[in-house]
Amino acid sequence: MNTTGTTGRAERESRRWGPRGTAGATFAGLLAFENVSKQFGKTEVVRDVSFSLAPGEIACLLGPSGCGKTTLLRIAAGIEKPDRGRVLFDGQEMAGPNRFVPPEKRNIGLMFQDFALFPHLSILENVAFGLKNLPRAEARTIAGHALERVGLAHHAADYPHHLSGGEQQRVALARALVPRPQVMLMDEPFSGLDQRLRESVRAETLTLLRETRASCLLVTHDPVEAMGLADRIFLMRQGRLVQSGTPEQIYRQPADAAVARFFSDANELAGPVTGGRVETPLGGFPVPAGFHGREALVLIRPQGLKPGGAGTDGLVVEARFQGDDVKCSVLFKGVDERLTALVHAREAPQRGQTARFEIDPEHVFVFEKPVSPPIS
Ligand code: ATP
């Protein structure tokens, strides 16, 4: 749903960002992790992680708090050293058994949750800070262009505390991008922003990143943010890489029950497996190839329980209006817990009504029991 209000806000935000297509282009770099591990004390917080970023790719490192995302980002930046494994930029070893390249020699742009602007420097000086190798006048000219691009040229002489959170975010982005890094590393760059601003700032950041063609690895714990931003998601759990793929691949083919639950709410049913199908009170579902167990767990997303068709009757014990959709709690015969159905408002049953529900197989996932540990 996009209301006139949010469109208006997005347009206003977009105007504030200055003309598109004016950010300096960069030669995109390729970042690779090879069997990277890192331990703090006795705890291994990053465990044998391997993946690589294609040039120009925008990727999200996604996972719950404490799963090791920031540590991996700091290893890429050169702020932490890996205990084992290697980090490569464009095939060159940045960290590994033979070499350690310090952060300032890595051609990376860094951006953190708190934006880390220098309070005693003007906005222009903050952005020019990343261009210390250039003559001062040239650095200030380039910084001025970058501020124009993010729509903040009129704040050049101001100090960070004069700016709103959204504006500070844009200064931090301009500062990280002016040296034309091959790789941008961003740690929860939107979480300090007001919820209403977040979406438009994200969209503009994405446009700017595409324009510069830098590869980007962005840390987030928010699956919705990752799906909205990333070409590819790298999902971590307890220090390990659990699954990687496009947002659509991970959403449609979650590797295990915990991944499915992390991406959306799900109703859960268990049932015995016979003849390649798991039987539940809501019908039978095929088990995936290579399934070995005698019992299976069936996850059904709320939007996969739809009214009508040749389904199963259920008593609607609650129906909550949510705008376009109505969230129904439904009791089915043989199921102890109420299941949740997310139904389009036009076809939603009323509370107290018995309605027939069919299941959309696109929103059904069958996994073996025992279940993988929770991801959040
Ligand atoms: P969050 O989003 O909460 O920052 P995260 O997934 O980014 O979570 P990390 O910040 O990488 O996770 O932390 C992983 C684990 O390592 C945590 O248990 C954390 O307490 C621990 N840790 C991180 N840095 C250090 C350090 N310098 N010394 C000791 N333990 C650390």
Cα 65 to ligand 1 centre (Å): 8
Whether ligand 1 lies within 6 angstroms of the CB of 221 is answered as yes
Query: How many whole angstroms from 17 Cα to the centroid of ligand 1?
Result: 33
| Strand intervals (E) in the chain | 31-40, 43-53, 58-62, 84-89, 92-95, 108-111, 183-187, 215-220, 232-237, 240-245, 267-274, 277-280, 283-286, 295-300, 305-321, 325-332, 339-344, 354-359, 364-368
Give tens-digit pLDDT for 273-320. 998 999 999 999 999 988 888 899 999 999 999 998 788 999 999 999
Separation of 237 CA from ligand 1 center, angstroms? 12
Q: What residue's CA is closest to ligand 1, atom 15?
A: 66
Is pLDDT above 50 for 6?
no
Q: Which CATH class is domain 264-368?
A: mainly beta
Q: State whether the beta carbon of 66 lies less than 6 angstroms from ligand 1.
A: yes
| CA-nearest residue, atom 19 of ligand 1 | 66
Q: Mean of the pLDDT values across residues 16-35?
A: 66
Looking at ligand 1, which atom is closest to the CA of residue 74? 11
Q: Give, for ligand 1, the residue of 65, 70, 238 to mutate: max count of ligand atoms closer than 8 Å to Cβ.
A: 70
267 close to 339: Cβ distance less than 8 angstroms: yes
Residue 21 scores a pLDDT above 50: yes
Q: In the structure, what pLDDT confidence band is assigned to residue 165 with cuts at 50, 70 and 90?
A: confident
Alpha helices in the chain (DSSP H): 4-16, 69-77, 123-128, 136-149, 165-177, 195-212, 223-229, 247-252, 257-263
Q: Whose CA is nearest to atom 26 of ligand 1?
A: 40
**Mean pLDDT, to the nearest integer, of 139-156?**
90
Query: What pLDDT does 338 receive?
Result: 96
Least confident window among 77-86, 111-120, 135-144, 158-167: 111-120
How far, in Å, from the CA of 293 to the mean position of ligand 1?
36
Ligand 1 center from residue 238 Cα (angstroms): 11
> 40 in ligand 1 pocket by Cβ < 6 Å?
yes
pLDDT digits (tens, 9 = 90+) for 350-372: 999 999 999 999 999 999 876 55
pLDDT at 376 over 60: no
pLDDT at residue 49 tops 70 = yes
133: helix, coil or strand? coil
What is the per-residue pLDDT for 29?
Answer: 54
Domain boundaries of the chain, sorted by first residue:
24-252, 264-368
> What's the CA gap between 244 and 369, in Å, rounded?
22
Residue 1 has pLDDT above 60, yes or no: no
74 lines ligand 1 (CB under 6 A): no
- The CATH code of the domain at 24-252 is 3.40.50.300
In angstroms, what is the span from residue 29 Cα to ligand 1's centroid?
27
Nearest CA to ligand 1 atom 28: 40
Tokens 């939603």 correspond to 348
State the pLDDT at residue 324. Answer: 92
Per-residue pLDDT, 34: 95
Task: With beta carbons less than 8 A apart as the criterion, state whether 354 and 313 touch.
Answer: yes
Residue with tokens 């844009």: 170
- Residue 186, judged by CB atoms within 10 A of its CB (0-12, 13-18, 19+), counts as buried
Q: Check residue 197 and give its pLDDT.
A: 80
Check pocket membership of 45 for ligand 1, CB cut-off 6 A: yes
65 lines ligand 1 (CB under 6 A): yes
Q: Name the band, by pLDDT with cuts 50, 70 and 90, for residue 17.
A: low
Please report the atom of ligand 1 found closest to the CA of residue 67. Answer: 6
Higher-pLDDT residue of 42, 9 = 42
CA of 186 to the centre of ligand 1 (A): 16
Q: Which of 5-14, 104-113, 123-132 has the lowest mean pLDDT?
A: 5-14
Pocket test for ligand 1, best of 33, 45, 188 (most atoms within 8 A of CB): 45
Cβ-contact 209, 24 below 8 angstroms: no
- Any atom of ligand 1 within 6 Å of the Cβ of 69: yes
pTM: 0.85
> From atom 23 of ligand 1, which residue's Cα is the shortest distance away?
71
What count of residues does the chain have?
376
Nearest CA to ligand 1 atom 25: 40
